[in-house]
Amino acid sequence: MNRHFINEFWGGLAAMLVVLPSSIAFGVLVFSAISPQLVGEGAFVGMMGAAVLGLVAPLVGRTPALITAPCAPAAAILSALAVDLLRQGIAIERISGLLALTALLAALLQVLYGLLKGGQLIKYIPFPVVSGYLSGVSLIIAVGQLPKLLGLPKGMALTQGLLSLKLWQWQGIVVGLVTMTVMCLSPRLTKKIPATIMGLSAGILSYFALGLWMPELLSLDANSLVVGAIPKGVSFLDTVKGRFISITDIHTSDLNIVVHSAVALSALLSIDTLKTCVILDSLTKNRHDSNRELLGQGLANLAAFMTGGMSGAGTMGATLVNVSSGGRKPLSGFIEGGLVLLVILMLSPLIAWVPISALAGILLLVAFRIFDWKAFRLLKNKETRFDFAVIAAVVIVAESVGLIAAAGTGIWLAIFLFIRDQLRSSVLRRRATLKDVSSKTYRLESEEVLLQQHGDEAAVIDLQGNLFFGTTDYLFTQLETDLRTQKLLLFDMRRVQSLDYTATHLFTLMHDRLKEHGGSLLFSGMPSSLLGGQNLQRYMTNVGLLNDDGIHIFETRDEGIEWMENRILHAWGWTEKPDELAFELDDIEVLHNMDETTLNALRECAYQRTVHAGETVFSVGDDGDELFLIRRGTVRILLPLKSGKYHHVATFSRGDYFGEMGFIDYQQRSADAVAKTDCELYVLSRKKFNIRVYDNAVLGARVFARIAKAISSRLRQTDSELSALEER
């Protein structure tokens, strides 16, 4: 026999041993809430659910090693619904049908989630909501199982029963405590046999041990301490027939009664499954398809409904046992379902002797484990106490009102928590005037003096995060002084994640304030597409913000700063002088004060080149070893980006140089050089320069020393820019 098949078989067998007793317990929990006489039927429904879910889910969902079976959230929701229906006075005969209808709607919703690719969205339900919900479920289970452990009469309040010691049935208590004790201790003794099986076996043995002294325990007649015989009317064919009949009897009023519970059931089963899948991925080094798995879970629950089984989900405990026992493929889940089916066909009469208190003990430990005890750690820190309040509120509402109201409460509190966090963080990342920042354009000393004198008339505002009604109003307040005193405001939008209509309206108000004293609003770095697919510039145009002629958009932050510098210089009497006079070689800044011999040697290595405005001097990937010295004109260095946009690296004017990287390392060009105006260039060839250096080593030393010093200066400027970008 194939070794891999053997591993899958042992994994499926171990998972079956975990699933079977818990499925029986969950079925008993639901149907005993309707009537004590339906305990046997509940055991059958739980086992049938385990078999059908195990057989169908692996065939469609295909998540390796995942075990699907009846689970605690399903038991809690369905039992809570059963109790609520009893309180409404609905006949017991109808309650089973309404529970089946709930399971049907939940299954169809899961199929819909999978078809609509909702697997990712369900994962984003806030964890405090899930934590509070599961903790609430655990308390509901505990409150429902304690009376069964104590053997209290049905309908008696737990608080009253705890005080009525005479009503306690000590035999059931002993069996339950033995079951829980062995379940807790068995992992320390052996990991080969699941703790649930060890505990249930110990509970059954202790029950029959008590029966040696109390013969009445060995009779099924009127014995409230055991599950009891499955009613003769409960058969597979009859159940299937009954389910199909229940579909034809569905009325609109029935849908109104159960729709909320069905939605909650579908969501919680989906969350439980996907949470298990995420952990399973880390163990098996696989990656599940969340949408396909939801489709598989929905179809499996649909099959469980049609065959009279209980709803379920991908369960953590059985899945981990499967993996630890060798299961790695969907086959192990299929084997688990097949083995449960064999038990139903061959050993179902033995289920009658399972003690109810043993099942209650198992469920109490399950409830203890799914309760999020780690949540109490949140009380230690002031920053996390509100998260604890969300969890506590969900638990309290779950206990006092119901699970549906608890889910709604948790989601609304989580939304409030998100808005609170957004309000705490300012979208204003950094603010600087033109006295503090400058463009990458080379300026004359006289121009620098003017910009230092009047640079506080313009400011650059770096924004970040989400611009919506909760954050932009505070931004407006922060910029009140700037809107009164400054003429130009440039908003750098590179780090903005989203924008809403309220934010665009406030930008309009800012622009109106600036226009009152001859100013205007500017934007730069517009993201072309955010994670949510929003195009900021298109959105701002559609809502009318960018239709105002006074608002300017720039591709890069540096372009906007350069435009503001020119506006300020023009406002204070500066006029851009045409650079008609071409520099000679000794006028180039990097070659200032060079001796004539060195300059003459360089003239023999260089040639002149004319480039018209808009033409490319070189492009990314071009081969070239030339150093370009600007005699006249302006050249921009642009770094193309994958989005089709570009990053402005620098602007060089008359007397400056560029292309030094290719001149030094002979590598391909790493950026584009584009003439902003008509240019005249000295082009210094490295190959010709090397020939001269061989004859005159001093020439090479002098030139490279100058270039090294100039590069060092540029690197220091780059360090300053990076420091500003990384400021926290």
pLDDT in tens, 132-183: 877 877 787 787 778 878 877 666 667 777 777 777 878 888 988 998 898 8
> What is the rounded average pLDDT of the residues 58-69?
93
pLDDT of residue 619: 93
Give the mean pLDDT of 212-230.
74
> 391-411 burial, b if ≥16 CB within 10 A, otherwise e?
bbbbbebbeeebbbebbbbbe
Structure tokens at 138: 């655990």
Dihedral sign for Cα 83, 88, 94, 98, please. negative
User: pLDDT per residue over 262-294, tens digit each?
Assistant: 988 998 899 888 877 876 776 677 878 889 999
pLDDT of residue 42: 86
Return the top range by mean pLDDT from 68-77, 430-439, 703-712.
Answer: 68-77
Instruction: Tell me which CATH homologous superfamily contains domain 585-725.
Output: Jelly Rolls (2.60.120.10)
Percentage with pLDDT > 70 across the chain: 86
Q: What is the DSSP letter of 363?
A: H
Pairing assessment for the beta strands 68-70 and 488-499 based on DSSP bridges = unpaired
From residue 46, give the alpha-carbon distance in Å to each of 29, 130, 199, 328.
10, 24, 19, 25
* Res. 502 pLDDT band, cuts 50 70 90: confident
For the ranges 330-334, 390-394, 492-496, which has the lowest average pLDDT? 390-394
Burial of 650 (0-12, 13-18, 19+ CB in 10 A): buried
pLDDT at 352 over 80: no
The residue ranges of DSSP E strands in 471-600, in sequence order, are 488-499, 520-524, 552-554
**Tokens representing residue 590 in the block:** 């990097």
CA 471 to chain centre: 22
Total residues belonging to the chain: 728
Residue 523 CB partners (closer than 8 Å, separation 6+): 490, 491, 493, 540, 551, 552, 553, 554, 560
Contact 14, 194 (CB under 8 A): yes
- Mean predicted confidence (pLDDT) in 623-631: 90
Question: ∠ CA 405-267-248 to the nearest 5 degrees?
Answer: 95
Average pLDDT over residues 78-107: 88
Per-residue HEC secondary structure of 202-221 comes to HHHHHHHHHHHHCHHHHCCC
pLDDT (0 to 100) of residue 217: 78
- Rounded CA gap, 489 and 503, in Å? 16
Output 574 or 373, whichever has higher pLDDT: 373
DSSP 25-84: HHHHHHHHTT-GGGHHHHHHHHHHHHHHHHHHHHHHH--TT--EEE-HHHHHHHHHHHHH
- With bands split at pLDDT 50, 70 and 90, how would you rate the model's confidence at 690? confident
Confidence of residue 587 (pLDDT cuts 50, 70, 90): confident
In 3D space, the residue among 219, 264, 222, 220 whose CA is nearest the CA of residue 76 turns out to be 264
Alpha carbon 504 to its chain's center = 28
C-alpha distances (whole Å) from 557 to each of 492, 519, 525, 619, 667 are 6, 18, 6, 22, 29
User: In which band, very low, low, confident or very high, does the pLDDT at 113 lie, cut at 50, 70 and 90?
Assistant: very high
Answer yes or no: is pLDDT of 489 > 70: yes
Q: Where does the pLDDT of residue 682 fall: very low under 50, low under 70, confident under 90, or very high at 90 and above?
A: very high
Query: CB pairs under 8 A, 24+ apart, for 545-551?
Result: 545/504, 545/507, 545/508, 548/508, 548/511, 550/511, 550/515, 550/520, 550/521, 551/511, 551/520, 551/521, 551/522, 551/523
Q: Answer whether 0.75 is exceeded by the pTM.
A: no
pLDDT at 228: 65
User: Is 191 within 8 Å of 324 (Cβ atoms)?
Assistant: yes
CATH superfamily of 425-571: STAS domain (3.30.750.24)
Model confidence at 231, pLDDT cuts 50, 70, 90, reads: low
Where do we find the tokens 């015989």? 229
Distance CA 595, CA 593 (A): 6
Q: pLDDT band for position 402 (50/70/90)?
A: low
Which pLDDT belongs to residue 585?
84
Q: Provide the Cα torsion 408, 412, 414, 415; round to 10°.
A: 140
The band of 248, judged by pLDDT with boundaries at 50, 70 and 90, is low
Strand 635-640 to 646-652 pairing: antiparallel
The answer to whether residue 579 scores a pLDDT higher than 60 is: no
What is the rounded distance in angstroms from the CA atom of residue 460 to the CA atom of residue 477?
Answer: 16
- Say if residue 728's pLDDT is above 60: no
pLDDT average, residue stretch 525-544: 73
- Round to whole Å and give the CA distance between 245 and 240: 9
Which range is most confident: 20-24, 265-269, 277-281, 680-684? 680-684
pLDDT at 34 exceeding the cut of 60: yes
Domain boundaries, the chain: 3-148+226-374, 425-571, 585-725
pLDDT over 90 (residue 500): no
Average pLDDT for the chain: 82
User: Taking Cα atoms as reference points, which of 242, 195, 300 lies closest to residue 41?
Assistant: 242
* Confidence class for position 492, pLDDT limits 50, 70, 90: very high
